[in-house]
Amino acid sequence: MGLIFWFLFLIVIAFTVLFVVPPIWIFKTPTQRYFDKKKAPKTLINPEREAYRVTLKSVLPKLIFLGTRTIGIIWGIFWVIFPLPHFEDLLEPYTLIGYVFILLPLPIFLVYYTLSYLAQRDLKSRTILLDEMSDRDFKTLRATEPLLKEKQKYLPPFIFCKRRIYLFSGIQTFSVAISNLKRIKVFYNARNDIYGLYIRCSITAVALTKEQLIFLLREIRLRSPKGFESMTIDKWGSILSNITIS
């Protein structure tokens, strides 16, 4: 009976933390703190943007589920197999093995808790940008859809809004004014065929495909031709030598 009580108590605490306390271990950039202070609109006046927001809102829970499903299955199997040799001990109150059994689900709660927080924060940031961006920015946003996988169609790693670039790494969001772009650092992961992008002195890189990188650089040049010509693009070897930005 005592074991059941502590298990239910743990479940209640876990869900309370999940919905009340933000994860303190996640670092916030100045851009993210800006979004946290703002209130995201519940609906958008523009019908096309509202439809985009609704679709975006429906996509994020699916990604959270996919992110926790694998670790949940593995940990769930372990949670079932682990107590079988100690079943008699579990029936005894206040045993060490009983408390270990209670703590086994915690990693699943922790993963789901963190992913849920990041997803809700990401949704809020993107909704605010949808509300604030110009028609040209929204057109650019829609143009990124063919460059993304189906599950990430509404989650581009970069968004142009009000002469700024907002970069989404999945954990952090940071931005820079296009006019302030002086140096972009690009590196290439041949194993995964992915380009990494550092802008300014950010502590986070954004992973891009070759097509996404070309699109991003081309859009920067369209919005700031003079700035792009004077910009320094650092690269390892001749990474960008075969990329034509027309």
User: Mean pLDDT of residues grouped by 10 in the chain (246 residues)?
Assistant: 58 60 64 87 91 87 64 63 54 55 66 77 92 96 92 90 89 85 76 68 70 89 86 61 56
Question: Could you give the number of structural domains in the chain?
Answer: 2
187 and 217: one domain? Answer: yes
Do 174 and 197 belong to one domain? yes
pLDDT in the model for residue 147: 93
Length of the chain: 246
The neighbour count for residue 9, using CB atoms within 10 Å, is 11
- The SS3 of residue 217 is helix
Q: Are residues 212 and 147 in the same domain?
A: yes
Angstrom distance (rounded) from CA 57 to CA 60? 6
The pLDDT value given to residue 74: 64
4 and 124 inside one domain: yes
Domain end (from 92, 108, 132): 132
Q: Which pLDDT does position 25 carry in this prediction?
A: 52
- Nearest of 171, 182, 187 to residue 220 by alpha carbon: 182
Give the residue numbers spanning the domain of 54. Answer: 1-21+30-132
Query: Are 124 and 185 members of one domain?
Result: no
The verdict on 89 and 101 lying in the same domain is yes
Q: Are residues 104 and 168 in the same domain?
A: no
**Buried b vs exposed e over 152-186: b needs ≥16 C-beta within 10 Å?**
eebbbbbbbbeebbbbbbeebbbbbebeebeebbb
143 and 123 in a single domain? The answer is no
Here the tokens at position 239 are: 């990474």
Same domain, 147 and 121: no
126 and 100 fall within a common domain? yes
Looking at the fold, whether 92 and 120 belong to one and the same domain comes out as yes
Last residue in a domain, options 82, 99, 132: 132
Which of 1, 119, 101, 105 lies closest to 59 in space, CA to CA? 119
Q: Helices 106-132 and 30-37 meet at what angle, rounded to 10?
A: 80
